[in-house]
Protein backbone atom coordinates (compact mmCIF):
# COMPACT_ATOMS: atom_id res chain seq x y z
CA UNK A 1 0.00 0.00 0.00
CA UNK A 2 1.16 3.54 -0.66
CA UNK A 3 -0.03 7.16 -0.65
CA UNK A 4 -1.73 6.75 -4.03
CA UNK A 5 -4.04 3.92 -2.98
CA UNK A 6 -4.44 4.73 0.74
CA UNK A 7 -7.88 6.34 0.39
CA UNK A 8 -9.37 3.49 -1.62
CA UNK A 9 -7.64 0.72 0.34
CA UNK A 10 -8.26 2.09 3.83
CA UNK A 11 -10.64 5.02 4.09
CA UNK A 12 -13.19 3.54 1.69
CA UNK A 13 -12.85 -0.06 2.91
CA UNK A 14 -16.04 -1.69 4.13
CA UNK A 15 -14.07 -3.93 6.48
CA UNK A 16 -11.64 -2.84 9.19
CA UNK A 17 -8.01 -2.42 8.11
CA UNK A 18 -4.83 -3.24 10.04
CA UNK A 19 -1.87 -1.29 8.66
CA UNK A 20 1.63 -2.53 9.43
CA UNK A 21 4.25 0.20 9.02
CA UNK A 22 7.62 -1.52 8.78
CA UNK A 23 11.11 -0.88 7.46
CA UNK A 24 13.78 -3.09 5.92
CA UNK A 25 16.31 -2.00 8.58
CA UNK A 26 13.88 -2.50 11.51
CA UNK A 27 14.68 -5.74 13.34
CA UNK A 28 11.45 -5.82 15.39
CA UNK A 29 9.43 -5.16 12.21
CA UNK A 30 11.06 -8.06 10.40
CA UNK A 31 10.57 -10.32 13.42
CA UNK A 32 6.82 -9.54 13.35
CA UNK A 33 6.40 -10.38 9.64
CA UNK A 34 5.49 -14.07 10.17
CA UNK A 35 2.94 -13.06 12.83
CA UNK A 36 1.38 -10.46 10.51
CA UNK A 37 1.13 -13.07 7.74
CA UNK A 38 -0.56 -15.46 10.19
CA UNK A 39 -3.06 -12.74 11.17
CA UNK A 40 -3.87 -12.23 7.50
CA UNK A 41 -4.88 -15.88 7.22
CA UNK A 42 -6.55 -16.20 10.62
CA UNK A 43 -8.76 -13.13 10.15
CA UNK A 44 -9.37 -13.41 6.40
CA UNK A 45 -12.74 -11.91 5.52
CA UNK A 46 -12.93 -10.06 8.85
CA UNK A 47 -10.10 -7.54 8.56
CA UNK A 48 -7.91 -6.36 5.72
CA UNK A 49 -4.16 -6.35 6.38
CA UNK A 50 -1.99 -3.77 4.60
CA UNK A 51 1.78 -3.44 4.82
CA UNK A 52 3.55 -0.13 4.27
CA UNK A 53 7.31 0.02 3.75
CA UNK A 54 8.03 3.26 5.61
CA UNK A 55 11.34 3.78 3.80
CA UNK A 56 9.50 3.90 0.45
CA UNK A 57 6.45 5.83 1.68
CA UNK A 58 7.78 8.73 3.71
CA UNK A 59 5.01 11.13 2.61
CA UNK A 60 2.28 8.73 3.77
CA UNK A 61 4.10 8.25 7.09
CA UNK A 62 4.30 12.03 7.55
CA UNK A 63 0.62 12.46 6.65
CA UNK A 64 -0.41 9.83 9.23
CA UNK A 65 2.16 11.02 11.81
CA UNK A 66 3.93 7.67 11.93
CA UNK A 67 7.14 8.67 13.69
CA UNK A 68 8.66 5.33 14.69
CA UNK A 69 8.72 1.70 13.71
CA UNK A 70 7.10 -0.68 14.09
CA UNK A 71 3.70 1.02 14.10
CA UNK A 72 0.31 -0.57 13.60
CA UNK A 73 -2.83 1.43 12.86
CA UNK A 74 -6.36 0.08 12.89
CA UNK A 75 -8.96 1.83 10.76
CA UNK A 76 -12.68 1.20 10.77
CA UNK A 77 -15.31 3.19 8.90
CA UNK A 78 -12.60 5.42 7.42
CA UNK A 79 -11.31 6.53 10.84
CA UNK A 80 -8.25 5.60 12.84
CA UNK A 81 -9.49 3.61 15.84
CA UNK A 82 -6.23 2.47 17.37
CA UNK A 83 -2.48 3.11 17.13
CA UNK A 84 0.10 0.71 18.51
CA UNK A 85 3.72 1.80 18.43
CA UNK A 86 7.08 1.30 20.09
CA UNK A 87 7.16 -0.99 23.10
CA UNK A 88 3.37 -1.39 22.95
CA UNK A 89 3.71 -3.41 19.73
CA UNK A 90 3.12 -6.92 21.03
CA UNK A 91 1.25 -9.82 19.49
CA UNK A 92 -1.37 -9.67 22.24
CA UNK A 93 -1.96 -5.91 21.75
CA UNK A 94 -2.32 -6.37 18.00
CA UNK A 95 -4.81 -9.23 18.48
CA UNK A 96 -6.78 -7.14 21.00
CA UNK A 97 -6.95 -4.23 18.53
CA UNK A 98 -8.17 -6.53 15.75
CA UNK A 99 -10.81 -8.11 17.95
CA UNK A 100 -12.07 -4.67 19.04
CA UNK A 101 -12.31 -3.59 15.39
CA UNK A 102 -14.24 -6.62 14.16
CA UNK A 103 -16.94 -6.44 16.84
**10, 19, 29, 89: the active-site residue:** 29
Residues 6+ apart with CB under 8 A from 101: 16, 18, 47, 74, 76, 81, 82
**26, 51, 53, 95: the active-site residue:** 26
Q: Is 61 a catalytic residue?
A: no
Q: Is 26 a catalytic residue?
A: yes
Residue 90 and residue 11: Cα distance in Å, rounded?
25
Q: Catalogue the active-site residues.
A: 26, 29
Amino acid sequence: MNRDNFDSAVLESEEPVLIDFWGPQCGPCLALNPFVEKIEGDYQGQIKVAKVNAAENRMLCAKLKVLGLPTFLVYKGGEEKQRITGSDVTESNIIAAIQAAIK
